[in-house]
Chains A and B, each alone.
Chain A
């Protein structure tokens, strides 16, 4: 494959369905990059790295969408994180390919899906990093003997990052804004010993049922709306108000026309199937 053919493939990803041949594209990019590095053409090598990274971002995003469609939500969550990482690495090297390969769309939609997921708490390890090396030259990263390679920059067609070679684990915390989003807290199933997924995915299920293609446009707007008291018949007058205000029910929403709850309004570029269109989702 030539570079032009690779670019045409990456551009066509949004005009699906096309025959997916990511492995062939990746192999062609690797060959071209090897030649570029061999001839000392750092600019071309970096340009090809951007294409590799764009391919990764597209592949992770498409994979996430497939998992969402299959109801494999945690797997989708992990792929969305990989998408986010791939796009973030590209952002500082942004050129015309950013729009051509739909990376703007992918970045926006990835963040949108992530916000709809119900995961709010995560494990988070703390490390004391005793030794780090540069991914390019493998020299130790120290303040007074610096190799000169900058994190995030591209050298010989590879991104520079740090490899931690020696750590001391300080502890594990539970946080709401983790660096690694995959470290979601799950319950354990006492019978099987495996993971029990205790989360409610209603906010994700609705748009994924409505979307036919990963590159169909959609938006979500967060508002609030009063829901009928009949939905909260199990809540006592002196119980905390279901609107989460912290007040008693009788001194809060019970005086109103309904209980004030978060409301999500979805807008789709293409009309969803009729059975989905009429759906209304109530969170517990």
Chain B
């Protein structure tokens, strides 16, 4: 049977600072900046250094577009010309990372849950999912982005991500107040160089 659900919240960089964003055309960049939900690629896979998405991302994208509430547009930070997907033939469903403003995070969580329900049906209990939300928060002049990563049974993704998003509001603070919920087993961090460990970040702020 699958492990307990795990969520992990870590500081992250803003969408505009990501390598993939710099590679977009002006039109796509503009569309991405105005979107409520943006699918964000990983930077490379093994020897390949370009942007890559998990297998099935195009279908995920169009599901989100079909089901997003009115007023929320869904975009992808990629061009057709260099679009590639990675198929890791491990029986875990990997979903593309979603970048959202804090106010749209609950909508993104509901959309992820709806997609998994549509794709897996009753199989949600026995299927594991790995997904992440990048939540952007603005507090006056300060901007912060946190990454909420989830790995666990598909059936628990909605509750776990919802709690994690709520914990951001409860902290009453932006991204530096990062928390880890669930068992301590860490998720693999694909961007170690870009995200600071939580404790170091807290210590830094105290100074």
Most buried by A among B58, B78, B91, B118: B58
CB-based contact A143/B80 at 8 Å: yes
Residue in B55, B90, B118, B128 whose CB lies within 8 Å of A124: B90
* Number of interface residues, chain A, beta carbon within 8 A: 32
CB-based contact B90/A143 at 8 Å: no
In the assembly, what is the distance between CA of A125 and CA of B46, in Å? 13
CB-based contact B91/A128 at 8 Å: no
In the assembly, what is the distance between CA of A248 and CA of B108, in Å? 50
Q: What residue of chain B has the Cβ atom nearest to residue A168's Cβ?
A: B48
In the assembly, what is the distance between CA of A151 and CA of B84, in Å? 18
Q: What residue of chain A has the Cβ atom nearest to residue B53's Cβ?
A: A143
Knowing that A143-B78, A177-B90 are A-B contacts, what are 19 other residue pairs whose CB atoms are under 8 Å apart, sorted by A's residue number?
Answer: A91-B121, A124-B88, A124-B90, A125-B89, A126-B46, A126-B87, A128-B46, A128-B52, A129-B55, A129-B87, A130-B84, A142-B80, A142-B83, A143-B61, A145-B80, A168-B48, A170-B86, A177-B91, A178-B89
- Residues of chain B contacted by A173 (CB below 8 angstroms): 90
Q: Would you call A246 an interface residue if the criterion is a C-beta within 8 Å of the partner chain's C-beta atoms?
A: no
B71-86: which residues lie under 8 A (CB-CB) from chain A?
Answer: 76, 78-80, 83-86
CB-based contact B59/A128 at 8 Å: no
In the assembly, what is the distance between CA of A171 and CA of B46, in Å? 9
Asked, given contacts A143-B78, A145-B80, whether A129 binds B90 with beta carbons under 8 Å apart, the answer is: no
Q: Would you call B138 an interface residue if the criterion is a C-beta within 8 Å of the partner chain's C-beta atoms?
A: no
Q: Would you call B56 an interface residue if the criterion is a C-beta within 8 Å of the partner chain's C-beta atoms?
A: yes
CB-based contact B86/A129 at 8 Å: yes
Interface set of B (CB-CB < 8 Å, partner A):
45-46, 48, 52, 55-59, 61-62, 76, 78-80, 83-92, 118-119, 121-123, 128
Q: Would you call A92 an interface residue if the criterion is a C-beta within 8 Å of the partner chain's C-beta atoms?
A: yes
CB-based contact B87/A141 at 8 Å: no
Interface set of A (CB-CB < 8 Å, partner B):
88, 91-92, 124-130, 132, 141-146, 150-152, 162, 164, 167-168, 170-171, 173, 175, 177-180
- Residues of chain A contacted by B92 (CB below 8 angstroms): 177
- Residues of chain A contacted by B87 (CB below 8 angstroms): 126-129, 164, 167
Q: What 3 pairs across the A-B complex have the smallest Cβ distances? A: A177-B91, A142-B80, A127-B87
CB-based contact A124/B122 at 8 Å: no
CB-based contact A143/B86 at 8 Å: no
Q: Chain B: interface secondary structure?
A: mixed
In the assembly, what is the distance between CA of A128 and CA of B88, in Å? 9
A87 to chain B, nearest CB (A): 11
Q: What residue of chain B has the Cβ atom nearest to residue A160's Cβ?
A: B59
Residue in B59, B78, B79, B123 whose CB lies within 8 Å of A151: B59
In the assembly, what is the distance between CA of A165 and CA of B141, in Å? 48
- Residues of chain A contacted by B55 (CB below 8 angstroms): 129
A163 to chain B, nearest CB (A): 13
B107 to chain A, nearest CB (A): 20
CB-based contact B59/A150 at 8 Å: yes
In the assembly, what is the distance between CA of A180 and CA of B91, in Å? 8
In the assembly, what is the distance between CA of A140 and CA of B88, in Å? 21
- Residues of chain A contacted by B88 (CB below 8 angstroms): 124, 126
- Residues of chain B contacted by A167 (CB below 8 angstroms): 87
Asked, given contacts A92-B121, A142-B80, A150-B59, whether A179 binds B90 with beta carbons under 8 Å apart, the answer is: yes
CB-based contact B123/A88 at 8 Å: yes
Asked, given contacts A125-B89, A129-B55, A151-B56, whether A143 binds B83 with beta carbons under 8 Å apart, the answer is: yes
